[in-house]
Amino acid sequence: MVFLIQSTQNRDSEAMQVKLDEIIRAIGNAKNELLDLEELEEDDLEQIRTSYRELATKARRARQTRS
């Protein structure tokens, strides 16, 4: 029973990942290199997280200066 539940959850996760990949691919200015992030090593993933945190910080600062 546990195996069946786990198998169903894995299939659902994989389907969700494919859907997200399609959304990323379909968006005009999206970065296609972000597809399959789950395959990256932890260090590589952390570098990407850091760069997006920096972008968010810059955007917040820019918004504050406009206010």
Q: Could you tell me if 13 and 43 lie in one domain?
A: no
**CB of 45 within 8 A of CB of 37?**
yes
Q: Could you tell me if 43 and 31 lie in one domain?
A: no
Nearest-angstrom CA–CA distance, 4 and 64: 51
**24-45 mean pLDDT:** 86
Mean pLDDT of the chain: 87
Task: State yes or no: pLDDT of 7 exceeds 90.
Answer: no
Alpha-carbon dihedral angle through residues 55, 39, 20, 13, given to the nearest 10 degrees:
-130
Q: Could you tell me if 28 and 53 lie in one domain?
A: no
Q: Could you tell me if 13 and 28 lie in one domain?
A: yes
**49-62 mean pLDDT:** 93
| Domain coverage including residue 56 | 39-67
pTM beyond 0.75: the answer is: no
Q: Could you tell me if 16 and 31 lie in one domain?
A: yes
67 pLDDT tier (thresholds 50, 70, 90): confident
For the chain, what is the domain count?
2
Q: Could you tell me if 3 and 31 lie in one domain?
A: yes
Q: What pLDDT was estimated at residue 58?
A: 94
Q: Could you tell me if 27 and 46 lie in one domain?
A: no
